[in-house]
Amino acid sequence: MLLRADTVLTGRKSLQPGWIDVVDSSIRAVGEGEPPVSVDRDLGAVTVVPGFVDSHLHGGGGANFSAADPEQTATAVAVHRSHGSTTLVASLVTADRDDLLRQVGTLARDVRSGLLDGIHLEGPWLSPHRCGAHQPALMRDPEPAEIDAVLEAADGAIRMVTLAPERAGAIAAIEQLTAAGVVVAVGHTEATYTQTRAAIDAGATVGTHLFNAMRPIDRREPGPITALLEDPRVTVELITDGVHLDPAIYRLVTKTVGYDRISLITDAMAATGMPDGRYDLGPLAVDVVDGVARVAGSDTIAGSTATMDQVLRSAVRYSDIPRDEALQAAVAQASVNPAAALGLPSAELAAGSAADLVVLDDQLTVTEVMRAGTWITAEPPPRPSTPGRRP
């Protein structure tokens, strides 16, 4: 299938016009200018970009990954794929040992089947002082035996683990996890600057939703944010959903670290693609009002209701650089950067890559999505009987 479009953003460069040659599930060639032979489809005045890589999300369409239910997982995946996320790493909130092993074992089957692209453990080895939408009573220190049990249950499916470096045994846990090929992120933490530096030196390479659920910067205690920003080995996650971060923070981070060290994420929960109401995030009840999710009875933000196309549009809008440049940067942050940070196959539109791509109109709205060489609908599927929603 030979495709042409007025603009193709590969994740590294802009081709105007551009063409993409797809064979089966892969890209055979990408080029600039008019295609060398007649095309199978001219997409016209659109922008084609790589499929989005969401490395941090909890559910959608009323469904929770923490339920470890195949039907709910498939529902959430379908909603996010329809918005351009062709690669999804399912995030699990803090749970007790038995639940954690059950969840990991079930989702590992979805990774092996290709429905998911990995599992992200956002807990249980976090700080109760920065618990966010997690149960503090279930948080605990990382112990080698529990880590071994989780890794065995996952059978290679765990892609990333977020932990708090100040917890007892955290540095040894980072070394244990990275030795097993797992990416370690710093988050939900009250760590000092020094403790965070030690975590990075031990192998941590990601900052989980930077600025959210972590000790803020102080003039005499720079804290984890400063340590994560200043180290070139670290990729930082940003939730540009209009709720978690002020636009000025996005601009500040891009000026501090450049565009190549940022991964856009949704941190989406079950209410994504659903109306306002009460939902679950792990064991916690969450109220969604005007699209903003908060732990029931509190002001604590509980993930988001965003999709990757939304955070992409916001990043472009937040930027103070020309729109074309901002879009190129945001596309890399939504695809190439998170894939690289998690050690996933390259998301760039290039020869040999998976044929995962998204078609955007001039308002940056998703009109079509291709995954593994197959076109899928750009509209969410019919809503289920709200499995993650409380009556």
Q: Annotated catalytic sites, by residue?
A: 267
Q: Which helix (H) or strand (E) holds 337?
A: helix 336-341
Question: What is the secondary structure of 259-281 as a DSSP string?
Answer: GGGEEE---B-TTTTS-SEEEEE
Residue among 159, 81, 113 nearest 356 (CA): 81
Residue among 51, 111, 133 nearest 308 (CA): 51
Dist CA 340 CA 332 (whole Å):
10
Longest dimension (CA), the chain: 64
The residues, any chain, with a CB within 8 Å of residue 347's CB and separated by 6 or more, are 11, 50, 51, 53, 87, 335, 336, 338, 339, 353, 356
Q: Which ranges of 131-237 does DSSP label H, i.e. alpha helix?
A: 144-154, 170-179, 193-202, 223-230
Residue type, 314: S
Answer yes or no: are the C-beta atoms of 162 and 142 closer than 8 Å. Answer: no
Dist CA 9 CA 193 (whole Å):
37
Give the pairing of strands 14-15 and 7-9. Answer: antiparallel
**Other CB atoms within 10 A of residue 57 CB:** 27
Task: Please give the C-alpha separations between residue 156 and each of 124, 148, 178, 281, 341, in angstroms, as whole numbers.
Answer: 19, 12, 12, 25, 17
Answer yes or no: are the C-beta atoms of 375 and 54 closer than 8 Å. Answer: no
Phi, psi of 115 (to 5 degrees): -70, -40
